[in-house]
Chains A and B, each alone.
Chain A
Amino acid sequence: MVHSKKFLSISKLMLSAVLLACSALAQAAAPADPFGSVMWQAMVDRYFTGGDVVFDQRVKVIAPYSAENQMHVPITVDATGLENVKQIVAVADLNPIQHVLTVRPKQALSFIGFRLKLQQSSPIHVGVQTEDGTWHMGGALIDAAGGGCTAPAAAHGTSNWMQTLGETRALVRRDSKGDARMTVRMRHPMDTGLAAGIPVFYMNKMVVKDEAGGVIAELDLFEPVSENPTITLKPAVGSSASQLAVSTRDTEGNEFSFPLSVPAVTTQ
């Protein structure tokens, strides 16, 4: 039977994950996964600990059914219907590296847009943890061709990518409701360390602050975030014009920082 080998390797993975989790803390069984992931219990044990886990319609995960480009699969998470959000954690269950990112939206709406690399067809789970510890879950199933995480970054095909490292484009707009939204796009190969001969090298931190130095949002990024990370956030900065300060860091210790101007809401 051709299936058995695959199941065997997956169950081995699950077993090691379960053992790991058990040694730290005995976990209750997770609720049934509407996405039917074979890795679901392992994902809960690894990434969604410290509170109840519930599937919640208020966590909207917008993803294409089929990945047109498995190196750049767009995901938008909208959990603005939830109050008191502590953090948002996104994982791709069947990727060799599952953790995609964590966002702590301190003074931002519970909303993020990003792109990820998918090694194969996989369920995506997004957990939104509220102050009471509860994980509110959403997710999506994405059909993909293979190769997303182990293929080298496109940047390595060009000779001058080190010079453009950290080159940044950004845009801040007000939407029709007056909410500010910022999109930042930074040149970075986001090397996973899984492609032969290319060591791990990725942007792992982003912090957005307001004029007074108050934290708007903190992001931990991981290897599955796509090359040239393109991140959309909604800072909660009121209706007048203001300045944001963005700083990012990668795994080699390179730091990049820049200001961004938020326009005032235009009244008509």
Chain B
Amino acid sequence: MTIDSQQRRALLKVLGAGCGCCICGAAGARLLEYPLHATEIASKTWAVHGELSHFNLENGGNIVNVAFIEVPDGVVVIDTGPSKRYGQALLTLIEKTVPGRPVLRVYNTHHHPDHCFGNQVFDQSLIAAPQGVIDNINLDGNGFADNMYRLVGDWMRGTAPVAPGVALEAGKEEIGGRQFSLFYLSGHTSADFVVRDDTTGVVFSGDLAFLFRAPTTPHADIATWQGAINELSGLDKDLILPGHGPADKRGESLVQTSDYLAWLEDTLTGAVDSGLTMNEAMQLPIPDGFSSLSVVREEFERSVVHLYPALEDQLMPLIDVTR
């Protein structure tokens, strides 16, 4: 993209924030519909894959993996997508795929908006997550909503954050005749929740694992995240559905995420220790092994902003100050 068109686009945003101008009018005239598609990744288990991209006005925030499982007595849903409108489309897709089956349980893997902003269309008393996820949604939900409206616009109409009504703490629970193992981890955020369907062996990792898309780090603690990946690697499983990217039979998503995080931490540690400014760090090269990950340059630049301050506090020596 040329500087000129970037500048023009940014200027339009500066001038046209929240207005009724031609750009917004054009978007409003379009019928916004999520093209959701259910892919059967294991027996009676469907993934709804989003784009390996960023939130934008074209995809309406549909960049995430959502899943649903037909269990003996009904349906279990894992994550709910980025908006109320997505939630409605998801309900329609579930009804089309497994007609007449009631939703018995909705799990939220973590509080990021692409994973839980479709909660609104489900009965709150069916939505379950660890207390940490509930607290995070209550804390950050409104801020996320503001930001999502800004990024994807009209797709968000009517969307408001809804925290799960059920706080989980058990290691297992049975839903509609199917047993699920529940894992309470952290690292991608302060509360990451992983669900395993003990019958199919499918692990729903949330954003602890990414595949072919660069991991995001706005609330990450890299060392803790690596520990969580280690734990997931040791789990009995037949398939992983990562938070973003295709279903993974061979544990590739765990390896790729772990390798990327190790490189990220090494690179930013080196950058802070060399006294590079954030802007200089953002320009560092991305090695061949990661350069094919979707949106890796953008995510790397974002990660510099997320991770630099803590690394500076950790790596720059304290100086004796006379006052």
Q: State which residues 152-169 of A face B: CB under 8 Å.
A: 166-169
Cβ of A129 within 8 Å of any chain B Cβ, yes or no, is: no
List, in ascending order, chain B residues with CB within 8 A of A115's CB: 278
* B279 in contact with A68 (CB, 8 Å): no
List, in ascending order, chain B residues with CB within 8 A of A169's CB: 312-313, 316-319
Main secondary structure of the interface of B (DSSP, over half): helix
A156 to chain B, nearest CB (A): 17
Contact segment of B15-23, B40-48, B111-119, B255-263: B15-23
Looking at B20, B21, B302, B305, the one whose CB has the most chain A CB atoms below 10 A away is B305
List, in ascending order, chain B residues with CB within 8 A of A1's CB: 20
Cβ of B309 within 8 Å of any chain A Cβ, yes or no, is: yes
Q: How large is the interface on B (under 10, 10 to 19, 20 to 34, 35 or more residues)?
A: 35 or more
CA separation between A266 and B29, bound complex, in Å? Answer: 64
Contact segment of B5-13, B59-67, B236-244: B5-13
List, in ascending order, chain A residues with CB within 8 A of B274's CB: 173, 175
Q: Which of A34, A145, A228 contacts B7 (CB 8 A)?
A: A34
* A74 in contact with B305 (CB, 8 Å): yes
1/0 contact string of B132-167 vs chain A (CB within 8 Å): 000000000000001100100000000000000000
Q: State which residues 278-323 of B face A: CB under 8 Å.
A: 278-280, 282-283, 301-302, 304-306, 309, 312-313, 315-323
* B13 in contact with A121 (CB, 8 Å): yes
* A181 in contact with B275 (CB, 8 Å): yes
Looking at A141, A173, A175, the one whose CB has the most chain B CB atoms below 10 A away is A141
List, in ascending order, chain B residues with CB within 8 A of A166's CB: 321, 323
* A3 in contact with B19 (CB, 8 Å): yes
List, in ascending order, chain B residues with CB within 8 A of A143's CB: 10, 13
Return the chain B residue nearest A180 by Cβ. B275
Q: State which residues 59-80 of A face B: CB under 8 Å.
A: 62-65, 68-69, 72, 74-76
Q: How large is the interface on A (under 10, 10 to 19, 20 to 34, 35 or more residues)?
A: 35 or more
User: Total number of A-B contacts with CB less than 8 angstroms?
Assistant: 129
Cβ of A256 within 8 Å of any chain B Cβ, yes or no, is: yes
Q: State which residues 219-268 of A face B: CB under 8 Å.
A: 228, 230, 232, 254-258, 260
List, in ascending order, chain A residues with CB within 8 A of B273's CB: 171, 173
* B279 in contact with A63 (CB, 8 Å): yes
Cβ of A193 within 8 Å of any chain B Cβ, yes or no, is: no
* B17 in contact with A120 (CB, 8 Å): yes
* B278 in contact with A74 (CB, 8 Å): yes
Cβ of A170 within 8 Å of any chain B Cβ, yes or no, is: yes
CA separation between A172 and B15, bound complex, in Å? Answer: 42
1/0 contact string of A87-122 vs chain B (CB within 8 Å): 000000010000000000000000001010000111
CA separation between A120 and B150, bound complex, in Å? Answer: 12
Cβ of B26 within 8 Å of any chain A Cβ, yes or no, is: no
Chain A interfacial positions (CB closer than 8 Å to B): 1-3, 6, 34-36, 38, 62-65, 68-69, 72, 74-76, 94, 113, 115, 120-123, 141-143, 145, 166-173, 175, 181-183, 185, 228, 230, 232, 254-258, 260
